[in-house]
A and B are shown apart, each in its own frame.
Chain A
Amino acid sequence: MNQDIYVVVEHLRGQVSDISYVMLAAARVLAQGTGGSVVAVLLGHNAGELAGDLAADRVLYVEHAALANFTSDAYLTALSALLSEQGPRAVLLGHTSIGSDVASGLSVRLGLPLVSQCLRVSEDGKFVSQICGGKIMAEGDLPEPTALVTVVPGGYKPEEGQSPAAPEVTPVAAPALEGLRVSLAGYVEPEAGDVDISKEPILISVGRGIQNEDNLELAQELAEALGGVVCSSRPVVDQGWLPTSRMVGKSGQKVKPKLYLALGISGAPEHVEAITDSEMIIAINTDPNAPIFDIAKYGAEIDMTDLMEVLTELVEEAKGG
């Protein structure tokens, strides 16, 4: 048992993901409280150079050909071996397609407690998690002896977890990684969409509030009038109403437009994390408690389907006059 805070570094195709730096920033806060070190755990194959800008006191590097790309099976085996020998105060993983795939398995395999959707931590060892689509916060003490924590973005800036001074890297022998039941068959590149919404300055984004596919035409007309394009939150894409290339959010695109007009979007954390770089967010929603109003500059409590047509008309008028 020691007082160190471990961070499982996430990387994808040779790039460290932002969430890794966010976790290093959170880990620093906790380490200031415990007096321990911030230790980055890097799993990979020929990936040592990824440690370069991690704001960690040291890096434990587990090298193995089976760790070249993330698979839950190999990561789970490697991390359990590492953690069963060492007993840090906490282990931070991303609340992501990578971290969430292994955190629960680690909790059961090692018998360690697990906290998920953690947004912030404090020096006195408390976590604050963001649940119920961002509507509720839950606070508590990090459970003993070693708390596994999955971290959501938004609590710390990635820059806070970066450092120009390369940390010391200690190689750690990988356990036997045989009989693995999950393997990577290959990557499928994102569909080449008609437009790249990550580069568009004006986005008309529709969510569940669109109600049916026919209403999409109204959003389309509004977008055309404003010289922008239509994009959406996850449910609209899952319905097959818009292609995946138009999806904004955790699994979709990160956007940074001049105007993000959010129509009928509640503002769940998975969506919000992808729009925070927008210059101006305007939110239209029937639910006055929708979290989207917490990050929007302007808002209106009205049904988007009542607003779109009249707004399009007025935009046309304003352009004509």
Chain B
Amino acid sequence: MNIVVTVRLVPDLVEELEIDESGTALDMTWMRLIINEFDDHSIEQGILLKERGGGQLTVVVPDVEGADDVLFAAAAKGADRLIKVVGDFEEGVNNHALARGLAATLKDLQPDLVLTGVQAHDDLDGSVGPLLAEQLGMPYVGYVSGVEVSGNQTTVRKEYPGGLIAEMAVTLPALLGIQAADEPPRYVPISKIRQAMKSASIEELDAPELDPSGAPAVSRMFEPEAGERATMIEGDEEEIAERLIEIFQEAGIL
């Protein structure tokens, strides 16, 4: 079983987001990039499948700031092969370009199963998973929170609203958009990542020239106009708690 996980890095939403001078894009200058949380779940799902059924797990990341850290962390968790796709990815490339940029590498790897996060919070032109699936001619199922493989077929749990699950049977090779792994992503201590940095090696592969067509042009980016924002309660925890009690009483909750 040849499993490939593709990973995208996204702005860390914990940090303040700023819009650049053009007013049409995020300012990437000081932006901290972190692994897309759903890609983290994809790595975990890949490792779980490997632990259960054997096989090889390859993690593929476009070459942006932070890519090496993501790959070494994946190696520390159990990934066998680390690939960095080198191209002009730094300039906030869109998903269409990224999917095309990864497709050539993925074709060469001839995976049985490709896993990637169902979406990323900054998706503006579709998601990498289903774009890539179509490039590779593979079937795609997204919003997946459970994967089993048997023979040339995978059975996945696809999430619908209200907690409803659809079990879908998918013929391999296939690409799955992961919402959550069967188990939460495991924690790896820094010491193990350091070890991986010494023992594991990153292969660099060249991406073709990136083609961004298929995405919309953004003419204006802005922070949402604050509507009626919450009335903020000031003070320390005592004072806030006291005011909340009053509010509960006014609303007839207490």
Query: A282-B247, A294-B227 are known contacts. Are A319 and B142 too (CB-CB below 8 A)?
Result: no
Q: How far is the CA of A108 from the CA of B121 in the complex (A)?
A: 21
Query: Contact: B216 with A226, CB < 8 Å?
Result: no
Query: Contact: B16 with A301, CB < 8 Å?
Result: no
Distance in angstroms from B45 CB to nearest chain A CB is 12
Distance in angstroms from B212 CB to nearest chain A CB is 11
* Cβ-defined partner of B134 (8 Å) among A105, A139, A289: A105
Interface size class of A (residues with CB under 8 A): 35 or more
Query: Contact: B231 with A297, CB < 8 Å?
Result: yes
Q: Name the residue of chain B whose CB is nearest to the CB of A292.
A: B230
Q: How far is the CA of A190 from the CA of B213 in the complex (A)?
A: 41
> A157 in the interface, Cβ–Cβ < 8 Å?
no
> B122 in the interface, Cβ–Cβ < 8 Å?
yes
Distance in angstroms from B47 CB to nearest chain A CB is 16
> B232 in the interface, Cβ–Cβ < 8 Å?
yes
Q: How far is the CA of A225 from the CA of B247 in the complex (A)?
A: 15
Q: How far is the CA of A226 from the CA of B140 in the complex (A)?
A: 45
The 10 closest A-B pairs by CB, nearest first: A190-B163, A299-B230, A104-B130, A104-B126, A108-B134, A296-B230, A181-B139, A188-B165, A181-B171, A97-B143
Q: Name the residue of chain B whose CB is nearest to the CB of A259.
A: B253
Query: Contact: A97 with B220, CB < 8 Å?
Result: no
Q: How far is the CA of A161 from the CA of B159 in the complex (A)?
A: 25
Q: Name the residue of chain A whose CB is nearest to the CB of B159.
A: A251
Query: A17-B161, A184-B168, A251-B163 are known contacts. Are A108 and B135 too (CB-CB below 8 A)?
Result: yes
Query: Contact: A131 with B121, CB < 8 Å?
Result: yes
> B124 in the interface, Cβ–Cβ < 8 Å?
yes
Q: How far is the CA of A130 from the CA of B123 in the complex (A)?
A: 9
Chain B residues closer than 8 Å to A254, beta-carbon distance: 161-162
Chain B residues closer than 8 Å to A70, beta-carbon distance: 166
Query: Contact: B143 with A293, CB < 8 Å?
Result: no
Name the residue among B141, B224, B253 with the largest chain A CB count within 10 angstroms.
B253
Q: Name the residue of chain B whose CB is nearest to the CB of A225.
A: B254
> B93 in the interface, Cβ–Cβ < 8 Å?
no
Query: Contact: B248 with A259, CB < 8 Å?
Result: yes
Interface code A76-91, partner B: CB below 8 Å = 1, 0 otherwise? 0000000000000000
Query: Contact: B216 with A253, CB < 8 Å?
Result: no
Query: Contact: B237 with A310, CB < 8 Å?
Result: yes
List CB contacts (< 8 Å) of A56-115 with chain B. 69-73, 96-97, 100-105, 107-109, 111-115
Chain B residues closer than 8 Å to A296, beta-carbon distance: 230
Query: A186-B167, A250-B161 are known contacts. Are A259 and B251 too (CB-CB below 8 A)?
Result: yes
The secondary-structure label for the interface of chain A is mixed
Query: Contact: A108 with B165, CB < 8 Å?
Result: no
Q: How far is the CA of A130 from the CA of B119 in the complex (A)?
A: 14
Interface size on B, residues (CB 8 A): 88
* Cβ-defined partner of A297 (8 Å) among B95, B217, B230, B241: B230
Q: Name the residue of chain B whose CB is nearest to the CB of A208.
A: B14
* Cβ-defined partner of A226 (8 Å) among B11, B123, B170, B253: B253
Distance in angstroms from A186 CB to nearest chain B CB is 5
19 pairs across A/B with beta carbons < 8 Å? A12-B161, A100-B118, A101-B130, A104-B131, A108-B214, A134-B224, A135-B13, A136-B19, A184-B168, A185-B155, A189-B164, A245-B163, A251-B161, A254-B161, A279-B251, A283-B230, A287-B14, A293-B230, A311-B237
> B21 in the interface, Cβ–Cβ < 8 Å?
no
Query: A114-B214, A133-B13, A293-B230 are known contacts. Are A101 and B142 too (CB-CB below 8 A)?
Result: yes
Distance in angstroms from B154 CB to nearest chain A CB is 10
Query: Contact: A300 with B126, CB < 8 Å?
Result: no
Distance in angstroms from B64 CB to nearest chain A CB is 17
> B215 in the interface, Cβ–Cβ < 8 Å?
yes
* Cβ-defined partner of A116 (8 Å) among B13, B124, B159, B253: B124
Distance in angstroms from B210 CB to nearest chain A CB is 15
Interface code A205-223, partner B: CB below 8 Å = 1, 0 otherwise? 0000000000000000000
Query: A300-B232, A318-B254 are known contacts. Are A182 and B167 too (CB-CB below 8 A)?
Result: no
Distance in angstroms from A175 CB to nearest chain B CB is 17
* Cβ-defined partner of A258 (8 Å) among B164, B180, B251: B251
Query: Contact: A300 with B240, CB < 8 Å?
Result: yes
Chain A residues closer than 8 Å to B188, beta-carbon distance: none
Q: How far is the CA of A105 from the CA of B131 in the complex (A)?
A: 6
Query: Contact: A298 with B247, CB < 8 Å?
Result: yes
Chain A residues closer than 8 Å to B224, beta-carbon distance: 130, 134-137, 291, 294
> B202 in the interface, Cβ–Cβ < 8 Å?
no
Query: Contact: A139 with B248, CB < 8 Å?
Result: no
> A178 in the interface, Cβ–Cβ < 8 Å?
no
* Cβ-defined partner of A247 (8 Å) among B126, B127, B163, B251: B163
Name the residue among A134, A184, A300 with the largest chain B CB count within 10 angstroms.
A300
Distance in angstroms from B161 CB to nearest chain A CB is 6
> A168 in the interface, Cβ–Cβ < 8 Å?
no
Chain B residues closer than 8 Å to A126, beta-carbon distance: 219
Query: Contact: A135 with B134, CB < 8 Å?
Result: no
Chain B residues closer than 8 Å to A191, beta-carbon distance: 163
Q: How far is the CA of A313 from the CA of B241 in the complex (A)?
A: 9
